[in-house]
Amino acid sequence: MLFTLSKEVKFVFAREKDVMDRIAQYYGDANDSVADMIKSLGEGLGDDEGLAAANANDIASMESAANSSAIIRFVNLILYQGVVDHASDIHIEPFENDFKIRYRVDGALYEMKAPDVKMAPAIISRVKILSNLNIAERRIPQDGRIALTVAGRPVDLRVSCLPTAHGESVVMRILDQTTTSLDLENVGFAEDIYEQITMDIEKPNGIFIVTGPTGSGKTTTLYSVLRRINTIDTKLLTAEEPVEYNVDGIVQVPIDARVGNTFGKVLRAFLRQDPDVMMIGEIRDLETAEIAVQAALTGHFVFSTLHTNDAAGAVMRLIDMNVAPYLLASTLEAVLGQRLVRTCCRECREAYEPDDETLERIEMTRDQIGGRPFY
């Protein structure tokens, strides 16, 4: 920095919050930054270039627009804002006469001011370039990944592109390992559920399934369990599509059907790797289910997920896959059904004293509350 600035550099200590507050004070808040950036988009691209980028047949113009400084800055702002706002997903959605950018924060979607709809192809192309996707292919869904460093924190984004009637819809799932606790104690289970889980995962063999809707934290729960049992005397293998969290001491294998690396093929290879514990990202078909059962019967512990509405539905789902009921009875140790509870905004929440009717509805007494605050 001394040679770059040609000035003496003094290093001082400052908290991250203080630095971010000063940036907002002198450079404007998020809405001001977005408004200024949108204004610069029109100045940076110009009408002709923006329209050329919107032409699906003009790949060269589209790539040129996607690599323009204005588009690069705007996409960087979209990603940065999603990370600092602790969003779980970023949605970029083109419509016939409109273009929406939305963030999912604590389970709810919030809209960000978006530029003119003619800029959508260039913005989406920029995201596809960052994700190493084919910007010329707009007819089929594509999946990719972006690795970022935001405010010194490593962040991964899972990118999904879906062709629609008015362009491609892009959804980016934000995986910020620094803000996601992978300690089982901090996942948020009730005490009796937590104790039951800790007993079940200590068993030498069997199948443990976590079920719930998409985005309900199933994978996070499984990783918390794996970290709990990740010891020097335990061999752990995971098969995932894709690998969401990198954990030392666990052999993690990404699934890629494009090269023939399917769940079935990887799991058969796992059985020759002398594992103690296996984690399957999702049981999707009979082949995967049969290998999981076979592994459990031969002395391994298998963790996996299923998409069902509740824990009881997991058994019926496996039977619908034609898994023999007697094999399930011999191997299925536990099924955990979970949902995410929306959190209160830490900036605007207010404490209150719950009345007797509320306590009765949640089946708690004042002694059980123990003076804990309600919001």
Please state which of the four CATH numbers 3.30.390.50, 3.60.15.10, 3.30.450.90, 3.40.1160.10 is assigned to the domain occupying 13-176.
3.30.450.90
Rounded to the nearest angstrom, the gap between the alpha carbon of residue 292 and the centroid of all alpha carbons in its chain is 25
Handedness of CA 16, 17, 23, 29 (dihedral sign): positive
Give the N- to C-terminal CA distance of the chain in Å, as an integer.
47
Each residue's pLDDT tens digit, 35-79: 555 555 555 555 444 444 445 456 666 677 677 788 888 888 888
How large is the average pLDDT for residues 230-234?
Answer: 92
pLDDT at 245: 80
DSSP 260-316: TB-HHHHHHHHTTS--SEEEES---SHHHHHHHHHHHHTT-EEEEEE--SSHHHHHH
Mean pLDDT of the chain: 82
The answer to whether 184 touches 305, Cβ cutoff 8 Å, is no
Distance, in Å, from the CA atom of 282 to the CA atom of 285, rounded to the nearest integer, reads 9
Q: Which tokens sit at 347?
A: 């900036």
Which element (helix H / strand E) includes 236?
strand 236-240
Phi, psi of 124 (to 5 degrees): -65, -40
Beta bridge partners of 175: 156
How large is the average pLDDT for residues 78-83?
Answer: 88
What is the homologous superfamily of the domain 184-337 according to CATH? P-loop containing nucleotide triphosphate hydrolases (3.40.50.300)
Q: Which tokens sit at 314?
A: 């997991």
Indicate the pLDDT class of residue 24, thresholds 50, 70 and 90.
Answer: low
The answer to whether 89 touches 104, Cβ cutoff 8 Å, is yes
CATH 3.30.450.90 segments of the chain = 13-176
Count the neighbouring beta carbons within 10 Å of the beta carbon of residue 207: 27
* Closest C-alpha among 238, 90, 232 to residue 171: 90
Q: Which tokens sit at 252?
A: 């993690």
Each residue's pLDDT tens digit, 295-334: 999 999 999 999 888 898 999 999 999 999 999 999 999 9
Classify residue 179 by burial, with Cβ atoms within 10 Å: 0-12, 13-18, 19+: exposed
> Regarding predicted confidence, which is higher, 254 or 344?
254
CATH 3.40.50.300 segments of the chain = 184-337
